[in-house]
């Protein structure tokens, strides 16, 4: 499911997406999506026969399929060290116990999608 949160072609998880989500149209889109998801959950909880049909269809469509992640074996997502004041206030330490080694530094090289043709300024 998607919601009309940002202009078409905008890359997700960027500052521009966050700015769109914070603006009034973005907030309206997120609220509408949340209401839709909540209503769907209520429908499935109050109509167990519909949920049973959905589960049966899913089982039929996925029969014989083997699910495998596209992530490499042993992959750990990048972790970002929180500020010291947060760790102190939360009573946490860095790195967490479940981290097997120091995470690699991640630098984003993401660029914005095309915003259309370059236009010559008017004279």
Average pLDDT over every residue of 85-105:
78
Q: What is the pLDDT of residue 41?
A: 94
Q: Rg of the chain's alpha carbons, rounded to an integer? A: 22
Q: Taking 80 as the threshold, does the pLDDT of residue 29 lie above it?
A: yes
pLDDT-above-90 percentage for the chain? 31
What pTM was estimated for this model as a whole?
0.48
Q: What is the rounded CA–CA span in Å between residue 69 and residue 71?
A: 5
Helices assigned H by DSSP within 15-83:
15-22, 24-46, 48-61
């Amino acid at each position: 499911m998607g919601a009309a949160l940002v202009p078409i072609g905008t890359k997700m998880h960027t500052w521009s997406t966050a700015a769109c989500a914070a603006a009034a149209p973005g907030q309206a889109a997120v609220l509408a999506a949340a209401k839709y998801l909540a209503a769907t959950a209520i429908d499935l909880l109050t109509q167990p026969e519909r949920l049973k049909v959905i589960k049966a269809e899913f089982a039929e469509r996925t029969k014989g399929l083997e699910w495998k992640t596209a992530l490499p074996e042993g992959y750990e997502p990048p972790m970002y060290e929180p500020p010291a004041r947060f760790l102190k206030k939360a009573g946490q330490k860095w790195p967490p116990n479940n981290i097997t080694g120091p995470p690699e530094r991640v630098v984003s090289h993401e660029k914005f999608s095309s915003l259309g043709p370059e236009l010559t300024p008017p004279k």
